[in-house]
Structure 1
């Protein structure tokens, strides 16, 4: 598991945080906390005026490490990953400076929590977004999907576990640009650099002001959703559905 932080010399005021956890960037408990720590540290750095959240490998994020949950006969891993996801999502939302998500390939489950709480999204042409939670014995992140698509589409995507493309999100106004995969990081850096040219103090005040007028308390809303995930686990439903993971025909 690697969460790396870089400060490109040709992009003053921009911090790039890259997640690299092969094979598909499905993060274990510690991974969510490492990501949260990196985002918070970048936001606290007075020299940083914008953060780019990126990922290496086959896709942006495939959610939680289901196999880690399957190895735990109790609920300790579920409780830990619930808290870890909440911490990472909150870190992105509450980051003191704007966060630009650079999304390529798949953005699923917990990935939706990250990009839904980001301030802007740049995506590659092959990017797809979705919540396969009902197919994985879980619930959650509808809070964040609702920030990307209208209410009825969010519900349809949630109940069917279908995905939506970056181009479709562009039409809904939640993605800033869609570019070829080879141009993704450059496009994200272009937007981040434009943001970072603003006064750093004003940017931080603006981020706090926009969060303050948000109509939904995203942290409380997401934790409410997670309660139903735990209820499904206690009822045995989550384990039964989760045990089919990787066995689909």
Structure 2
């Protein structure tokens, strides 16, 4: 697991991301990947650092491969999905993700559960529980009442 670099031929670095799509790459994995690509690009013997969208899609780091004319609209799809969700839960989820990634899995589980507990007394979990997995339009008036 992790990010590694090998050189099967002089001037041909191969950066391998060993995180499976099921578990996804942790935030540190993306930093490690970026550092490996920058290091490969800084090597004066290297003439090209590349990867196709199809390769990245196969490894799980690209969501969808589309023609160039659909790229912007498709790239905005995840943001649209997230913005349609309950804002309070999104903020809690973001705080949990940012806090759990760099620490031991046992400690991070408890950390994440604290956010789950925080959502319950506020009523937000009761409000969205029945809509889990559904496309629910964001209601700004309801968000401001929270």
Interval containing the TM-score (normalised by the shorter chain): 0.3 to 0.5
Identify, as 1 or 2, the structure richer in helix: 2
Larger radius of gyration, structure 1 or 2? Answer: 2
TM-score by length of 1: 0.29
Structure with more relative contact order (C-alpha pairs < 8 Å, separation 6 or more):
1
